Homo-oligomer: A and B are copies of this chain.
């Protein structure tokens, strides 16, 4: 699928030209992570059939699993009502999180408050 100009124009990119993409495991339904996409990373995701984000820190395309081999095969991409958020349903081949937990959301707020650290 090639994204055409009308579709790209209807997506509500933020001031940095990015849209948040929620990643959900299509099998377990666990929410795995939130990342950002620009138009190029969304098109690359469609071309590859694997999640490709925009790394805000490194300012470059970030194919999930490029170094870890923990890729996310994309089953479906959904667009929300006002077109300012994407939801990717994926089949991951390994942990989503750099801590090697399956999901980045492994702490509840109470646990975080007891030990408030960024990992």
Contacts and interface: CB of A to CB of B under 8 A. Distances in A.
Interface of A: 1, 3-4, 6-7, 9-12, 20, 22, 24, 29-31, 33-34, 46, 76-83, 85-87, 97-99, 101, 104-110, 112-113, 116-119
A31 to B, nearest CB: 5
- In the complex, the count of this chain's copies comes to 2
Contact of A105 (B10, B79, B112, B113): B79
Contact of A112 (B7, B46, B107, B109): B7
B118 A77 contact: no
Contacts of A10: 112, 116-118
A100 to B, nearest CB: 10
A87 B31 contact: yes
A10 B91 CA distance: 31
Given A9-B116, A22-B31, A83-B116, 15 more contacts: A4-B113, A6-B116, A7-B112, A10-B116, A12-B118, A24-B31, A31-B87, A33-B85, A78-B106, A79-B112, A80-B107, A81-B98, A81-B119, A85-B104, A86-B109
